[in-house]
Chains A and B, each alone.
Chain A
Amino acid sequence: MNRQEEKGISQQIWDFLSSMRVGIGLLLALTVMSLYAATFLEHGEAMERVYTSWWFMGTLAVTAASLLVCSINRFPGIMKRVHVLKTDASPGWLDSLENRAEIAAAKRPEVLAEALKKKGFRTGISFDDGKYLISADKGRFGYLGSLVTHISLVLILAAGFYGVVAGDEGGAAGFAGRLIELPQYGFDVRIDDFTIAYRDDRSVEQYYSTLTVIENGIEVKQETIFVNRPLRHRGVNFYQSTYGWGVDVVFTNTVTGEGEEMLLTDGQRGFYHPLGIYVNVLRFFPDFTMTQGGMPTTRSVYPANPGVVFQFQDHHGQVIGEQFYIEPIGREIDLVDGFTMEFAGYRNYTGLQIIKQPGKPLALFASILLIVGLFLCFYIYPRRIWVRQGEDGVALVAGTSYRNKVGFGLEFEQITEKLKTVGGGQ
């Protein structure tokens, strides 16, 4: 029987997940999958067929498992390296290190150890056959780097999965005055105001919605949101997302003086009982003009020349008269029997996204941890130096670093220079 078969299946899975090669394979697989989806599929299709598919999610889950397993495997060894200064450096091994120098052996090793300590090293002195060995290390927290990095990645993935499972996403739109009821969250939000700020060139500078949060009939807070500044309340976030136009339609019976007002948005129709007709607003154009081909269009998003394209329908929905009419704002249209209609004004409504993302604090924490981990990985590099007393009044300085070979080479030169001067020879 060979070793493979002796191992239990769970041990084999564990070994598989802890292998760096498998880790690289998983990264490659994720690269290929996302490359395919991002490059060759439409966004919606990519979401549906790749990013939310069982095999993509599964690969992410296996990657998380792999990260966890290799972290657990390496944990004891890493902790030992962080805690324990390595003092078992045999002469033969020291001779094999890349960075070596000879200095005059100091009478008192404490002086050399002190010099290393001043450079930020942790030091220890031991004796062997009456000869001293100074062991020193620095940057030991760098060993934690990959561990912290990998754990933070597991947390980010966990936050993502949690967000998918427990998150919630919706939207609401309305004119100023509308109350958005959110019984599922235990509070309501009232739209107090919506305005668009335009620049001189009539492009949009910003959209502002003023919202009030109402809990059990009590106004809790009021905030003005805009793009890049959502309202956040009890883990639910309100984003400025879209906007649209509405027109105020006023019907008047000039004989009796009675009138009726309605507010209609694009594609909405309103029924006027006295005449039994619908007015159907097909489209509001803020800056109305006609194309070469005779189609209505808008020059800009700024309401410089507002116009309404609409039609009338009977109570069955049959079009009355022309397929469509075009009217500016503020002009009275005579209908029949002394009835008139007017597009009296226009307003904007606001469109909000309402999103609950419970994984967010964890994702943010994990992202900060990720940055810390990478910093430990790349900028706190562990290095070790030994000074071993040899024969004939010389001592061997030898050093090794876990990363940063060139940088350590330079540092090693400086340190040996320093040791030469403080040691003072015999």
Chain B
Amino acid sequence: MDPVFSEQAFFVSTFALYILAAIFYVYYFTSGKNSAGKRATYIAAAGLFTHTAAIVLRTVEAQRAPLSNQYEFASVFAFGIVLCYIILEQRYRARYQVFGAFVMPFAIIVMAYAATLPRDIRPLMPALQSWWLKFHVGTAIFAYGSFAIACGLAFMYLYRARREESGQLGFVAGKFPSLAVIDDFIYKTVAFGFLFQTLVIVTGAVWAEQAWGRYWGWDPKETWSLITWFIYAIYLHARFTRGWGGKKAAWFAILGFACVLFTYIGVNVLLPGLHSYR
């Protein structure tokens, strides 16, 4: 079969599976039935599997790592979100599966965005032919994936905090884990993402040094990834500071993800620079 066609087919199946998984996570969330939770995980894992197939096929077709244009990155970005989430879920033995209902939608939105982008495979310009670039983008998958999860959890945190203040938890927030638990998970996912974001910046700098002779040049994309990093650094410190923790910290986790999206989409669309290869 034609690999391009198969890649498409796998991409579409993945999209469908993620949507189905999200539906089951929401069903699990509202019904609390363990069987629904199990199914949600299986479906998400199946989606991850077809997604892997799509990515592998594209690698074969393009004869290079599929990490060099907006479409390819959107696809692996969604992959990263689901992968990071499944890892998190497995590590805590599915105790906190309610998070799934708030995380899967991010993967779906990113997949939907990917579906709108041109998919033609074009050869790499010389500056992009580098091993460091593969590490650079490869680490970004994990950074962005876990930042997306942190953002979903931060919304949960803020919602539950508001309900608690009003004195009535209500149906939805009542099913959330306690604020302390959500906070702990935001922290874990931000920490993981922060470690990887640091790797993204460092590998990017090593690559830039090889390609252009400077490891830091303040171009808009570089600077925006630094801004993202600053925001999450503020988040990490805010948790230790009286009057800055809790809700304020959660806002920083959301703001951080907004910066991620701007670095990834906004900079390419709005701000020209060395990095805007498309």
Contacts and interface: CB of A to CB of B under 8 A. Distances in A.
A160 B216 contact: yes
A207 B129 CA distance: 12
A234 B207 CA distance: 20
B169 interface: no
Interface string A222-253: 00001111100000010101000000000000
B173 interface: no
Contacts of B273: 43
A227 B211 contact: yes
Interface residues of A, number: 53
A38 B271 CA distance: 8
Contacts of B161: none
B22 interface: no
A20 B231 CA distance: 15
B94 interface: no
A230 B211 CA distance: 8
A371 B213 contact: no
Size range of the chain B interface in the assembly? 35 or more
B218 A27 contact: no
B194 A374 contact: yes
A24 interface: yes
A30 interface: yes
A331 B221 CA distance: 49
B223 A37 contact: yes
Contacts of A353: 212-213
A367 B202 contact: yes
Contacts of A122: none
Contacts of A34: 218, 223, 226-227, 230
Interface stretch (A83-91, A108-116, A172-180, A398-406): A398-406
Interface in B117-163: 123, 125-127, 129-130, 132
A378 B193 CA distance: 11
B237 A27 contact: yes
A226 B126 contact: yes
A328 to B, nearest CB: 29
Max chain B C-beta neighbours (<10 A), residue from A206, A227, A229, A371: A227
Interface stretch (A197-205, A269-277, A309-317): A197-205
A28 B237 CA distance: 12
Contact of A405 (B180, B192, B195, B198): B180
A363 B206 CA distance: 10
Contacts of A227: 126-127, 129, 211
Given A34-B223, A34-B227, A199-B123, A355 B192 contact: no
Contacts of A206: 126, 129
Interface stretch (B32-40, B56-64, B79-87, B238-246): B238-246
Contact of B127 (A228, A230, A410): A228
A239 B238 contact: no
B27 interface: no
Contacts of A160: 216
Contact of A355 (B194, B214, B240): B214
B199 interface: yes
B205 to A, nearest CB: 7
A203 to B, nearest CB: 6
Contacts of A241: 212-213
Contacts of A407: 188
A7 interface: no
A13 interface: no
Interface string B215-257: 1101110011011001101100110110010000000000000
Contacts of B5: none
Contacts of B220: 38-39, 43
Contact of B123 (A21, A205, A228, A404): A205
5 contacts: A43-B218, A43-B219, A51-B218, A364-B206, A371-B198
Closest 4 CB pairs of A and B: A38-B223, A227-B126, A378-B191, A239-B213
